[in-house]
Structure 1
Amino acid sequence: MDKKEQIILAAMRLLTERGVQATPMSAIAKAANTGMGTIYNYFATKEELINAIYLYIKRSEIHLVAKALESDSSLKSRFFSFYTAFISFYFKYPESFAFMDQFHSSPIITQSTRDAGQADFMPVISLIQQGQQDGIIKNMDLDALLHFLAGTITTYVRWVKGSGKDNDQALVDQQLRLVWDAIKE
């Protein structure tokens, strides 16, 4: 792991535990076991660092999810694979989930960062668009559909974590049925 990634991971943990105002750059430097100058070599401001964390998580998510989309199976099966991969990602990386849950809608995340994050998600977007063109998925505003799907993933993960339940396959299957029934034509 390089210094930049050390800083990103330390900042992610501290920001989700303490919040933006209670996390000075000096605390991030200490947690990353680096100096302030090193942090400022990579990130001019805390806001720039938060945006870098957002993209780091988005790119980590899509790296895992893209593998789930690489198959010749049906659109429904690929949808189930990508949706399950997102859920698995957030259970495997709870700090990433906590960060995205806290910062996804934050005004700290710039439009250019959001656009870059969305550009990385073209495989998922293409899957949804293909489903719409084929008459399998409801033909509605793409952004509305993507926000709906993101909301169902976040709510599901938050519910399972908060209820003390295990993320077992029966619950995932129920979630998949609910979401598929909501978006299918």
Structure 2
Amino acid sequence: MAKLQKSIDKRNRLIKATIQLVNNNGFHATPMSKIAKMANVSPATIYLYFKNKQDLVNQTYIEVKAKYTAYAFETYKNDMPIEAGFKLIWYRIADFKLKECENAMFLAQCDNTPMIDEASRKEGIKHLQPLLDLWARGKKEGIIKPLSDYLLYAYAINPLSFLMITQKRGDFQLDETHLEEAYQSAWGSIKVCK
């Protein structure tokens, strides 16, 4: 049992080191040797858990995406009214991005790079299924604009990454009023105007 825990700990240290180094240096300036050094393991140890750097980054992405979406949908119920469900999910995503800044920054980097392979991207999108289902229901009921899910995500969710990064840099401090204004802007950008 202790050996298994040591193995899990090493793998977790490799994931954490990958996130920190990618956030600070980018994908291409994050060699396996630096990841191993930061994780305090030998470079050969990485290959016990991952096939190569691509596999390490893809698996890190999928794990972080799963953690992000588990948090976002933890209190969401599929039968909630559209606006109430979206508001709950949106605020949970905002909370995650502000509390789990390192993980959220890693996901933002992954969303803007070709480094993540297509299979991993599709796996990541599957984790968003409750939000996609909510939007599909909202479109069917005439509450959500009949736009591509990519456009809905770009207008309603992606601005949170921008706000998180500006807060992390110290350029802007999100308070409750700003969050509510951001939510109203997000909702206003995807709801059908009546």
1:99 counterpart residue number: 106
2:34 counterpart residue number: 27
Runs of 4+ in structure 1 displaced over 3 angstroms?
Answer: 159-166
Amino acid at match of 1:90: K
Deviation at 1:167, TM superposition (A): 2.7
Moved more, 30-39 or 161-170: 161-170
Distance in 1 (alpha carbons) for counterparts of 2:87 and 2:67: 19
**Structure 2 length as normaliser, TM-score?**
0.87
- How do residues 32-71 of structure 1 correspond to structure 2 at under 5 angstroms? 32-70=39-77
Distance in 2 (alpha carbons) for counterparts of 1:163 and 1:12: 21
Deviation at 1:163, TM superposition (A): 4.5
Deviation at 1:14, TM superposition (A): 1.2
Distance in 2 (alpha carbons) for counterparts of 1:101 and 1:65: 16
Report sequence identity in percent: 27
Deviation at 1:87, TM superposition (A): 1.2
Distance in 2 (alpha carbons) for counterparts of 1:118 and 1:50: 16
Tell me, what secondary structure is at the counterpart of 1:68?
coil
Distance in 2 (alpha carbons) for counterparts of 1:163 and 1:6: 28
After superposition, the C-alpha distances for 1:46-102 in whole angstroms (9 at most, x for unaligned) are 121111121111101111011132375432111111111111111111111222222
Moved more, 162-171 or 85-94: 162-171
Contact residue 65 and residue 124 of structure 2 kept, 8 A: yes
Matched, 1:145 2:152: yes
Q: What is the RMSD computed on CA atoms of the aligned residues?
A: 1.8
Deviation at 1:141, TM superposition (A): 1.8
Contact residue 155 and residue 189 of structure 2 kept, 8 A: no
Deviation at 1:126, TM superposition (A): 0.7
**Structure 1 length as normaliser, TM-score?**
0.90
- The 1:72–1:130 alpha-carbon spacing in structure 2 relative to 1, beyond 3 Å, is closer
Distance in 1 (alpha carbons) for counterparts of 2:25 and 2:74: 34
Moved more, 116-125 or 140-149: 140-149
Distance in 2 (alpha carbons) for counterparts of 1:71 and 1:114: 24
- The 1:151–1:74 alpha-carbon spacing in structure 2 relative to 1, beyond 3 Å, is same
Contact residue 78 and residue 130 of structure 2 kept, 8 A: no
Distance in 1 (alpha carbons) for counterparts of 2:9 and 2:136: 37
